[in-house]
Amino acid sequence: MRHKVAGKRLGRSTGHRKALRRNLINDLFRHERITTTQAKARAIRADAEKAITIAKRALAHENPMRAVHARRLLMARLNNKQVVAKVFDELAPRYEERPGGYTRTLKMGLRHGDRAPMVIIELVDREE
């Protein structure tokens, strides 16, 4: 029984699952829209939104050391300097007035190979 066990395993080992989630979040922030399975999108949505919230709170705080700490936190989670810079320089200011809900999932139907439900997960208010 999985009582009070957080997170989805996605049929992978721990290291593989962590790498998958990190890569999906990095791709989401880099491209602002990705196509993936519904289960994977649900697994990364909360972590992606928390990363933007961390950056927003750091930019809004008057203590500059808070921004340094937040960058280090995101660097530990995302492990990509360019993506962390984009979150702080572009995404956090874009969502400064928004209280949450930075992502949107759009259902696409079933994948032909294995009938897995596919979705597009994207950042809202996207500049096109």
Residue 74 is predicted with a pLDDT of 97
User: Is 59 within a domain?
Assistant: yes
Residue 128 is predicted with a pLDDT of 47
> What contacts 24+ positions apart, CB below 8 Å, involve 82-87?
82/30, 83/26, 83/29, 83/30, 86/29, 86/30, 87/29, 87/51, 87/52, 87/55
Residue 66: which CATH number?
A: 3.90.1030.10
Q: How many domains does the chain have?
A: 1
User: Is 87 within a domain?
Assistant: yes
User: Is 128 within a domain?
Assistant: no
User: Is 64 within a domain?
Assistant: yes
Burial per residue of 23-43, b for 16 or more beta-carbon CB atoms within 10 angstroms, e otherwise: ebbbbbbeebebebeeebbeb
Range of the domain at 115: 14-123
User: Is 60 within a domain?
Assistant: yes
Mean pLDDT by groups of 10 residues along the chain of 128 residues: 88 96 98 97 97 95 92 97 97 94 97 97 78
Q: Shortest CA distance to 38 belongs to which of 13, 15, 8?
A: 8
Residue 54 is predicted with a pLDDT of 97
Residue 126 is predicted with a pLDDT of 56
User: Is 90 within a domain?
Assistant: yes
pTM strictly above 0.75? yes
